[in-house]
Structure 1
Amino acid sequence: MSEQLRIILIIIVSVSIFGLLIFVFVKNYIKNKINYYLNIKNSVKQKLTCHCKNVEIDVKLINGLNDLYRCNCSMCKRKGTIVAIVPKKNLEIVKGQKDITFYQFNTNVAKHFFCNVCGISTHSQRRSDPNTYGINVGCLDGISPQELFNLDVRINDGQNHLKDRK
């Protein structure tokens, strides 16, 4: 191998490693900045609103933005929401109760709530634990689409829900 080729390969590998380190650093920095920016703690209320602002909900997140998921069931995959779980007692509808409606399907246990004016899905009552809600993280006031893109999100296998198995 020629000396020039060896130098080029060393440069390429070095740049790749450096780029990966920068990516990891920036991703972690943004995630930490989001949690700091929103001041998310167990006891801090966050405001969640629909697009038209007719629906306003106060939520207390129990894990901040550290335990998020997307469900792959037929309903949720179409909505594409990023979800955080909160106990029922940590969600309070402050405004717009009359503008909230819900949709149910399959077992009719889960309730997918949305604003009947603008159509935005705000939260859902979970089938796996009806004493909890999944909130649409994108509806939290103060979070930008760029910040949503950088969150760590796991997949919840709603297509193969335990309660559907026979």
Structure 2
Amino acid sequence: MLKSYAGSCHCGAVRFEADIDLTQPTYRCNCSICRRNRFWPAIVTPDRFRLLAGGDHLVEYRFNAMRHSHHFCRTCGVRPFGIGNDIPGGERIYGINLGCLDATPEELAAAPVTCIDGAHDRWQSAPALTSYL
């Protein structure tokens, strides 16, 4: 069921709203950046994401193929979201960090998790080991 969630970085400088269905898959990825900062996204389309404040506090980081933009708060360092700009099918998507949402522990615990092997660009497959994700 689609629900509007408020979210923010740790210091509150970056604030947003996103319409998310937490009964749909969320993702844990083993690529170098997701693994290092424990990014846990739910995917939404641009029409379901609203940046409310703090655009001037965001720092963008790109690496490797430079396809995806990773956005961090310049004050607290938290990554509230990322943007997939070169996704199969050509649509732009937002990866909303569930750790930044004002969601209940029960809502987060019930969200289904799909593990993906981003470290090897096998986005449709799970890595051999997932318990550390």
TM-score bracket for the superposition, by shorter chain length: 0.7 to 0.9
Q: What corresponds to 2:32 in structure 1?
A: 74
| Structure with the bigger percentage of strand | 2
Aligned-residue CA RMSD (Å):
2.1
In the TM superposition, what is the alpha-carbon distance from 1:162 to its structure 2 partner?
5.5
Distance 1:162 1:133, change over 3 A: same
- Equivalent of 1:58 in 9, 13, 17: 17
**Residue 101 of structure 1 pairs with residue 62 of structure 2:** no
Report the Cα offset of residue 66 of structure 1.
Answer: 2.8
Task: Sort the Cα spacing of 1:72 and 1:127 in 2 relative to 1 into closer, same or farther, 3 A.
Answer: farther
8 Å CA contact retained: 2:16, 2:51: yes
Question: Structure 2 unaligned runs (5+)?
Answer: 124-133
| Partner amino acid, structure 2, of 1:47 | A
Q: Which has the larger radius of gyration?
A: 1
| 2-structure distance, mates of 1:151, 1:111 | 24
- Provide the residue aligned with 1:160 in structure 2: 120
1:80-119 matches, within 5 Å, as 80-119=38-77
Aligned residue in 1 for 2:130: none
For 1:111 and 1:83, the matched residues in 2 are separated by 14
CA contact (8 A) 2:22 2:112 kept: no
Give the alignment partner of residue 136 of structure 1, picking from 77, 91, 97: 97
1:7 match: none
Shift of 1:147: 6.0
TM norm structure 1: 0.65
1:103 Cα deviation after fit: 0.7
- What SS class does the counterpart of residue 56 from structure 2 fall into? helix
Distance between the aligned counterparts of 2:36 and 2:23, measured in 1? 22
Alignment counterpart, residue 6 of structure 2, candidates 32, 40, 47: 47
What are structure 1's unaligned runs of at least 5 residues? Answer: 1-40
Distance 2:27 2:45 in 1: 16
Give the alignment's TM-score, normalised by structure 2. 0.79
Paired-residue identity, %? 31
Q: In the TM superposition, what is the alpha-carbon distance from 1:126 to its structure 2 partner?
A: 1.6
**Contact conserved, 1:110 with 1:127, CA < 8 A, in 2?**
yes
**Bigger RCO (CA 8 Å, 6+ sep):** 2
Q: Which amino acid aligns with 2:31?
A: C
